[in-house]
Copies of this chain bind each other. A is one copy, B any other.
């Protein structure tokens, strides 16, 4: 009577993990026999996410991307994690989870928006034309092209520069996404009439694309890496608490301007 009457969904399956009375398997590998003591965290993570044994070049690109995404100081993520940790210190996972909710469309997770543009350029019959169309579109919106520009790092984001250099130095990579980003950069510069920084998320989008990470999964690498960064913020918060200071500072900096207490001296 309390039933869902639409056609039942087909039975889904999983390939990620299984366990028996005496063993645990990640995909086709035996955790104890094949992975523990033989593979790194990055290696097993990539195997689980990509569904294949990662190559050395995949590990190099993933490690550098994860390192770059780990930290940027007292960002909205880090401030959030510190405030939530102060409020519920028994619940470390809640503090990290709250901070991760900031890995969104406006910061950190923006590589997805750039990767979608690179996908379009790679798939286009005329990549230069497609890139010019993209640049024109964002100019019309008076909005920066995803992957370009940085409020701080000008004229060159040193992280982006190094990431792309590392990618270009890998002969096993196809190079299509890096070239698409270069094509887009030419169009963006031409449209702006001056050089516009390729930022770190733009370079990350290109590199993750080069090793075959689907665009819709890229934000996940930011989430994993930032989780590690936020745990370090919790350690610092345990050693030298900042939560109460942040609360006081913000409360005093933003005045109340209603009519409630007009008459107060």
Please determine whether A219 and B2 come into contact, CB atoms closer than 8 angstroms: no
CA distance A123 to B23 in the complex (A): 35
Does A246 belong to the interface (CB within 8 Å)?
yes
- Say which residue of B4, B153, B224, B245 sits within 8 Å of A152 (CB atoms): B4
Instruction: Quote the shortest CB–CB distance from A155 to chain B (angstroms).
Output: 10
Does A11 belong to the interface (CB within 8 Å)?
yes
Please determine whether A225 and B80 come into contact, CB atoms closer than 8 angstroms: no
Q: Which of A108-123 contact B (CB under 8 A)?
A: 108-109
CA distance A235 to B52 in the complex (A): 13
Instruction: Quote the shortest CB–CB distance from A205 to chain B (angstroms).
Output: 15
Q: At the interface with chain B, which of A93-101, A124-132, A183-191?
A: A93-101
Please determine whether B41 and A6 come into contact, CB atoms closer than 8 angstroms: no
Please determine whether B260 and A25 come into contact, CB atoms closer than 8 angstroms: yes
Does A243 belong to the interface (CB within 8 Å)?
yes
Interface residues of A (CB under 8 A from B): 1-6, 8-32, 35-37, 39-42, 44-45, 48-49, 51, 60, 62-64, 66-68, 70-77, 79-80, 83-84, 86-98, 100-109, 151-154, 158-159, 161-163, 166, 214, 216-217, 219-225, 227-229, 231-236, 238, 240-261, 264
